[in-house]
């Protein structure tokens, strides 16, 4: 009887935690549990957000249809063209034609725009020549033809002298640049034959200015 009482008291004094299944050991402090997958790259994540890439066009018709769909509307193209013309007229190097770019060509334009030239009458002279062809007076046609011939020869001589003078000045101002006489002379001559209001880029110096 004493033995049974001792056994019962021993069983009743045991902790209930000893009869339960031991829990898993806690994880070590300072150690993070991984996601179980590699971290995607930024390019892959952006491509996944954008969606699948459209296949390239297989025919010329599909390519033209795709280009037409991505083309801006007519109003936007008109605004872009107007902005390009304004920038070109203002002398912005990013919008100029290759023949007009560079400090040498800008200097040539300034020299041409700083003085009047007989070559500036080239366009009005061409109109006179065309008008003389429709006149019913042969004598007037002869005099107009003679006048136009003399004026044209004068313009040619002036253009040659202008090209030589401007090339000499440009070489003195830009000694490190390779300046061709024929190219710059022709550029100066064609610039001088245009009306001042129609020149592109627009003149940035006044007539009579020292360049």
Q: Is residue 76 part of a domain?
A: no
Q: Is residue 110 part of a domain?
A: yes
Q: CA of 123: how far to CAs of 81, 87, 99, 147, 163, in Å?
A: 27, 26, 22, 15, 20
Q: How many degrees, rounded to 5, is the angle at CA 159 between CA 157 and CA 165?
A: 105
Q: Is residue 128 part of a domain?
A: yes
- What pLDDT was estimated at residue 208? 86
- What pLDDT was estimated at residue 134? 81
Report the distance separating Cα 129 and Cα 186, nearest Å: 23
- What pLDDT was estimated at residue 22? 43
- What pLDDT was estimated at residue 59? 80
Q: How many degrees, rounded to 5, is the angle at CA 190 between CA 106 and CA 211?
A: 35
Q: Is residue 155 part of a domain?
A: yes
Report the distance separating Cα 199 and Cα 90, nearest Å: 11
Count of domains for the chain: 1
- What pLDDT was estimated at residue 210? 83
Q: Is residue 57 part of a domain?
A: no
pLDDT tens for the chain, residues 1 to 211? 444 455 444 444 444 444 444 444 444 444 444 455 556 566 665 655 555 556 676 787 777 776 766 666 677 778 888 888 898 898 888 889 999 999 999 999 999 999 999 888 888 888 888 877 787 888 888 888 888 889 889 999 999 999 999 999 999 999 998 898 899 999 999 999 998 999 999 999 998 888 7
Q: Is residue 65 part of a domain?
A: no
What range defines the domain where residue 153 resides? 98-198
Half-sphere exposure of 63 (CA within 13 A, CB side): 5
Q: Is residue 30 part of a domain?
A: no
- What pLDDT was estimated at residue 1? 45
Q: Is residue 177 part of a domain?
A: yes
Taken in order 149, 190, 89, 87, the sign of the CA dihedral is positive
- What pLDDT was estimated at residue 11? 42
pTM of this prediction? 0.61
């Amino acid at each position: 009887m004493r033995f049974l009482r001792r056994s019962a008291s021993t069983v009743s004094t045991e902790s209930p935690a000893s009869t339960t299944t031991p829990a898993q050991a806690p994880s070590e402090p300072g150690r993070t549990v991984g996601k179980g997958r590699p971290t995607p790259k930024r390019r892959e994540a952006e491509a996944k957000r954008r969606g699948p890439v459209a296949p390239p066009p297989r025919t010329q018709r599909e390519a033209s249809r795709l280009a037409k769909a991505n083309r801006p509307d007519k109003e936007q193209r008109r605004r872009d063209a107007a902005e390009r013309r304004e920038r070109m007229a203002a002398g912005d190097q990013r919008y100029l034609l290759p023949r007009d770019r560079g400090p040498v060509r800008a200097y040539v334009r300034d020299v041409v725009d700083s003085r009047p030239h007989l070559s500036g009458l080239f366009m009005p002279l061409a109109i006179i020549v065309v008008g003389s062809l429709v006149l019913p007076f042969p004598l007037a046609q002869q005099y107009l033809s003679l006048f136009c011939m003399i004026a044209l020869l004068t313009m040619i001589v002036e253009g040659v002298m202008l090209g030589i003078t401007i090339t000499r000045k440009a070489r003195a101002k830009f000694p490190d640049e390779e300046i061709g006489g024929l190219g710059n002379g022709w550029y100066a001559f064609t610039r001088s034959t245009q009306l001042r209001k129609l020149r592109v880029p627009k003149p940035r110096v006044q007539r009579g200015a020292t360049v």
